[in-house]
Chain A
Amino acid sequence: MAEIITDKTMDEIEILAKLHLTAAEKEKSRGEMQRMLDYVDMLNRLDTSDVEPLTHIFPVENVFRDDEVEESTPKEQLLANAPQEKDGQFLVPKTIG
Chain B
Amino acid sequence: MKQYETVIGLEVHVELATRTKIFCGCRTDFGAAPNTHVCPVCTGMPGSLPVLNRKVVEFALRAGLALNCEINRYCKFDRKNYFYPDNPQNYQISQLYLPICHDGYAELDLPNGKKRVGIHEIHMEEDAGKLVHDEWTDSSLVDYNRSGVPLIEIVSEPDMRSAEEVIAYLEHLQSTMRYLGVSDCRLQEGSMRADVNLSVREAGSKTYGTRTEMKNLNSLKAIARAIEGERERQIELLEEGRPVVQETRRWDDNKESSHAMRSKEDAKDYRYFPDPDLPPIRIPDAWIEQIKADLPELKEAKAARYQSEYGLSAYDAGLLTADKALAEFFEGTIAAGAAPKKAANWLTGETLRLLKESEQEASSIRFAPESLAKLIGLAERGVVNNRSAKEVFAAMFAENADPEAYVEAHGLKVENDAGLLAETAKRVLDANPKAVAEYREGKEKVLGFLVGQIMREMHGKADPAQANEALRNLLSKQ
Contact = CB atoms under 8 A, between A and B. Distances in A.
B377 interface: no
B357 to A, nearest CB: 34
A95 B131 contact: yes
B85 A95 contact: yes
A62 B281 contact: yes
A92 B84 CA distance: 10
B188 interface: no
Interface string A82-97: 0010111111111111
Contacts of B139: 84, 86, 91-94
Contact of A68 (B25, B36, B81, B137): B25
A70 B280 contact: no
A78 B43 contact: yes
B140 A95 contact: yes
B81 to A, nearest CB: 8
A64 B57 contact: yes
Nearest to A18: B83
Contacts of B83: 18
A51 interface: no
A42 interface: no
Interface stretch (B46-54, B118-126, B313-321, B404-412): B46-54
B33 interface: yes
A93 B142 CA distance: 11
A93 B280 contact: no
A72 B148 CA distance: 13
Contacts of A32: none
A55 B274 CA distance: 7
A90 B271 contact: no
B141 A86 contact: yes
Given A70-B24, A78-B43, A15 B51 contact: no
Interface string B18-39: 1110001111000001111111
Contacts of B282: 61-62
B2 interface: no
A72 B276 CA distance: 25
Given A70-B24, A95-B140, A65 B53 contact: yes
Given A69-B20, A70-B24, A95-B140, A79 B35 contact: yes
A24 B19 CA distance: 52
Nearest to A74: B36
Interface in B44-65: 51-55, 57
Interface in B40-99: 40, 43, 51-55, 57, 76, 81, 83-85
Contacts of A65: 25, 51-54
A13 B51 CA distance: 31
B466 to A, nearest CB: 59
Nearest to A12: B267
A67 B51 contact: no
Given A65-B51, A93-B139, A16 B281 contact: no
26 contacts: A12-B269, A15-B265, A18-B83, A55-B76, A60-B279, A61-B282, A63-B51, A63-B278, A64-B57, A65-B25, A69-B25, A69-B26, A73-B39, A73-B40, A75-B38, A86-B137, A86-B141, A87-B34, A87-B134, A88-B35, A90-B85, A91-B140, A92-B139, A94-B133, A95-B131, A97-B133
Interface of B: 18-20, 24-27, 33-40, 43, 51-55, 57, 76, 81, 83-85, 131-134, 137-144, 250, 261, 263-265, 267, 269, 271, 274, 276, 278-282
Top 10 A-B residue pairs of the complex, sorted by shortest distance between their CB atoms = A70-B25, A64-B54, A89-B141, A67-B55, A90-B142, A92-B85, A60-B279, A15-B267, A55-B274, A65-B51
Given A61-B282, A66-B53, A68-B25, 6 more contacts: A12-B267, A61-B279, A67-B18, A67-B19, A70-B26, A88-B34
